[in-house]
Amino acid sequence: MTRLIEVRGLTKVFGSGPNAFKALRGVDFDVESGDFVAVMGSSGSGKSTMMNILGCLDTPSTGSYRFLGHPVERLTQDQRALLRRRYIGFVFQGFNLLARTSALENVELPLLYRGESRAARHKGAMAALDRVGLTAWAKHTPSELSGGQQQRVAIARALVTEPQVLLADEPTGNLDSERSVEIMQLLSALNRDGGISIVMVTHEAEMAAYAHTIVRFKDGLVLAIEQREESIRVRN
Amino acid sequence: MFGTSLLLALKEIRRHKLRSFLTTLGIIIGVASVVTMVSLGNGATQSVQEQVSSLGTNLLTIRPGSGFGRGGGARPAFFDLDDVEAVRTQIAGLRIVAPQTSAQATAIYEAQNWSTTVAGTTNGYFHASNLELAAGRIFSDAELAAGKSVCVIGETVRANLFRNAESLGKSLRLNDVSCRIIGVLEKRGQGGFGQDTDDQVVMPLKTAMRRLTGNQDVQTILIAVDQQFDSAAIGDAITSLLRERRHLRHGMEDDFRIFDSKQLSDTLSGTTRTLTMFLGAVAAVSLVVGGIGIMNIMLVSVTERTREIGIRLAIGAVRREVLMQFLIEAVTLSAIGGLIGLVVSFVATLLIAMAVDLPFTFDFGIAALAFVFSALVGILFGYVPAKRAASLNPIEALRHE
Ligand SMILES: Nc1ncnc2c1ncn2[C@@H]1O[C@H](COP(=O)(O)OP(=O)(O)O)[C@@H](O)[C@H]1O
Ligand SMILES: [Mg+2]
């Protein structure tokens, strides 16, 4: 297996001088291709900071980050945007869909930035909506969808570019437990059947139970990495 | 990439119709007022020039008196035929010199009467004033030399005395003088300067002097200057000649005035042109204000749309694309505003020109200029908000509520 993500000695300092705050203090951590990683840890332990760096939205203060073997810190801002566009899908706690914009158009957006034709955009977006079971809701705007449905649109948007890895920062944080389970089953199926690697931040052990690997954070450091034999198998 | 940004910008404009309309309103008003003002101003200038040139070009009108509103004092003497002869023989470059005397008279034909002005003059009067005949002829040399009782009447006089009946060859009475109608002037209509040429009866100078005014006074000398000559210089030459003939010593004011139609025309059209420019400039300010309005609303929408921009950056938009999208939004809005403004100004100019009776002219040059300017305003005032949007930190933008 190719190593998808390799992080070594990663630190992140916010601010400077007496106000400087070390959010990450030397993180080592790998993601193998096809893995499903759950990142756990108390609030403020640096999980989101870590995810933003993995997603190339932010840069580390020191340390190295290799994505598919390439050192990311040497890329320019635009190159990082292109990497994000090509290989990485984002799912956020707050869904972050464009308001007043139909599910279909939201899902089409990444393809639009990639310069796909109108027909290709439509086809790709409908296929992605199909994967999350929302083809019937393609024309609806976020305000007409439930939280669970919105998160599934967001997942479809992340999937539509057929990324190598899905980065999900507390994807079930805003959902009730029933919807949460639905989302987790969806992610799990995508990982198993679609071969998409997933890195997911969560507080809840029930959600982490779907992952193969659990990375525990504490105060900007990796406390433990657990390989799980018995991740929850999705009946399908 | 440009295509993508254009598509996104258009989607965004369509998605927020009210906001887009309010944004363009300033530009619509700005462009519409600039183009309307300038077009109406040009119409007014053209109308002034037409009216002045209808009097005859390069026309000098000499009258006794020293300007307007000078009541009291001895009235300056009229000219006489010797003055006219002196001007004719001693000044070069004159195409026509027509002496004129006038009197008020009641014209009577059968049961109809009409109070009008009688002008005694020579044929030069018709040529210099660009008066055309609707019927008949002007005076023959014999009639002028002998002072025959013949006359040419204006359309107003003809209509009031004869209605639909034939007037040529009929005799009308002017006070006590009877004269035969040999010609009818073409209608010129109101709206020139000077007297109403439709409401007059023209007779040979000699006839009028002998039978109507009873003196040899020439009240007006009408002069048409040859095209090659400078009417202002000729006016100066006539002034010194007449001063000498009227024994005005050095330091004494002129007791006659020369009205130069060319000067009048230049002054008037110069004035309306200045006015046009002034109005255009005032309107241009509103165009700039419209541009600032666009910037204002775009800046507000950057703040409002911070999260949206964060989302776009997170799902793979390059900063340049965000910049381009905002810039295109601004330019498209101002260009649409400019187009609507042009349509509005076209209709407004047409309606106002009709309402105030001006010739309709639409200045396509200024229309093109205003349109280009409105698009430039979009670029100029769209750049700041676009730059701000593109330089947002995606993480912070995403966290923005
Ligand atoms: N932009 C920032 N500036 C300053 N401090 C920050 C910033 N982002 C995060 N932090 C701090 O870094 C720490 C880690 O934050 P975060 O990674 O969001 O934690 P988690 O996601 O694990 O709850 C927190 O104490 C937070 O206050
Ligand atoms: Mg967090």
- ipTM value: 0.88
Please state the domain count of chain A. Answer: 1
CB < 8 Å from B in window 176-235 of A: none
Between A45 and B269, residue with greater pLDDT: A45
pLDDT more than 70, % of chain B: 95
Find the A170 Cα to ligand 2 centroid distance in Å: 7
Average pLDDT over every residue of A158-185: 93
Please state the domain count of chain B. Answer: 2
Give the residue from B225, B244, B279 where a domain finishes.
Answer: B225
Between B99 and B261, residue with greater pLDDT: B99
> pLDDT tens digit string along B20-70?
888 888 889 888 988 898 888 888 888 887 777 776 668 888 999 875 445
Are residues B393 and B274 located together in one domain of the fold? Answer: yes
Retrieve residue A79's tokens.
């190159």
Are residues B47 and B108 located together in one domain of the fold? Answer: no
> pLDDT tens digit string along B148-197?
999 999 999 999 999 888 999 999 999 888 999 999 999 887 544 556 78
Q: Is the pLDDT reported for residue B73 higher than 60?
A: no
**Nearest-CA distance from B274 to chain A in Å?**
51
Are residues B301 and B385 located together in one domain of the fold? Answer: yes
Average pLDDT, chain A: 92
Are residues B107 and B47 located together in one domain of the fold? Answer: no
**Minimum CA distance residue for ligand 1 atom 18:** A48
Q: Which of B1, B319, B394 sits opposite A57 (nearest CB)?
A: B394
Residue B271 sits at the chain A interface (C-beta within 8 Å): no
Please give the pLDDT value at position B1: 66
Q: Does B70 map to a domain?
A: no
pLDDT band, very low/low/confident/very high, at B142 (cuts 50, 70, 90): very high
Q: Does B87 map to a domain?
A: no
Retrieve residue B328's tokens.
């295109």
Residue A1 sits at the chain B interface (C-beta within 8 Å): no
Average pLDDT over every residue of A45-51: 95
pLDDT band, very low/low/confident/very high, at B3 (cuts 50, 70, 90): confident
Q: Which of B1, B315, B319 sits opposite A110 (nearest CB)?
A: B315
Q: Which domain holds residue B109?
A: 96-225
Q: Does B389 map to a domain?
A: yes
Give, in degrees to the nearest 5, the angle at Cα A216 between A214 and A219.
160
What one-character DSSP code corresponds to residue A232? P
Please give the pLDDT value at position A233: 60
> pLDDT tens digit string along B91-125?
988 999 999 998 999 999 988 999 999 999 999 99
To the nearest 10 degrees (0 to 180), the angle between helices B364-390 and B17-54 is 160
Q: Under an 8 A CB cutoff, do A105 and B314 touch?
A: no
Average pLDDT over every residue of B192-217: 85
pLDDT band, very low/low/confident/very high, at B74 (cuts 50, 70, 90): low
Q: Is the pLDDT reported for residue A113 higher than 80?
A: yes
Q: Is the pLDDT reported for residue A87 higher than 90?
A: yes
- For residue B307, which residues of chain A lie inside 8 Å, CB to CB? 96
Please give the pLDDT value at position B358: 84
Q: Is the pLDDT reported for residue A236 higher than 50?
A: no
Average pLDDT over every residue of B2-20: 85
Q: Which domain holds residue A117?
A: 3-233
Q: Is the pLDDT reported for residue A214 higher than 90?
A: yes
Average pLDDT over every residue of A36-48: 95
Give the residue from B225, B243, B274 where a domain finishes.
Answer: B225
Residue A161 sits at the chain B interface (C-beta within 8 Å): yes
Retrieve residue B25's tokens.
């309103």
Q: Which of B318, B394, B395 sits opposite A78 (nearest CB)?
A: B318
- For residue B310, which residues of chain A lie inside 8 Å, CB to CB? 96
Task: Kindly report the CATH number assigned to the domain that includes residue A88.
Answer: 3.40.50.300
> pLDDT tens digit string along B329-353?
888 888 899 999 999 999 999 999 9
Decide if B293 contacts B380 (C-beta within 8 A).
no
Retrieve residue B6's tokens.
């254009």
Are residues B158 and B282 located together in one domain of the fold? Answer: no
Give residue for tokens 């079930």. A172
Of residues B221, B51, B238, the one with CA closest to residue B130: B51
Q: Is the pLDDT reported for residue B218 higher than 90?
A: yes
Q: Under an 8 A CB cutoff, do B316 and A55 touch?
A: no
Residue B311 sits at the chain A interface (C-beta within 8 Å): yes
Q: Which of A58, A77, A109 sits opposite B315 (nearest CB)?
A: A109
Between B260 and A66, residue with greater pLDDT: A66
Residue length of chain B? 401
CB < 8 Å from A in window 6-45 of B: 7-8, 11, 15-16
Decide if B322 contacts A81 (C-beta within 8 A).
no
Residue A84 sits at the chain B interface (C-beta within 8 Å): yes
**Minimum CA distance residue for ligand 1 atom 1:** A14
> pLDDT tens digit string along A114-162?
889 999 999 999 999 999 999 999 999 999 999 999 999 999 999 999 9
Q: Does the Cβ of A47 fall within 6 Å of ligand 1? A: yes
Q: Report how far residue B241's alpha carbon sits from residue B336's, in angstroms, rounded to the nearest whole number.
A: 65
Please give the pLDDT value at position B176: 85
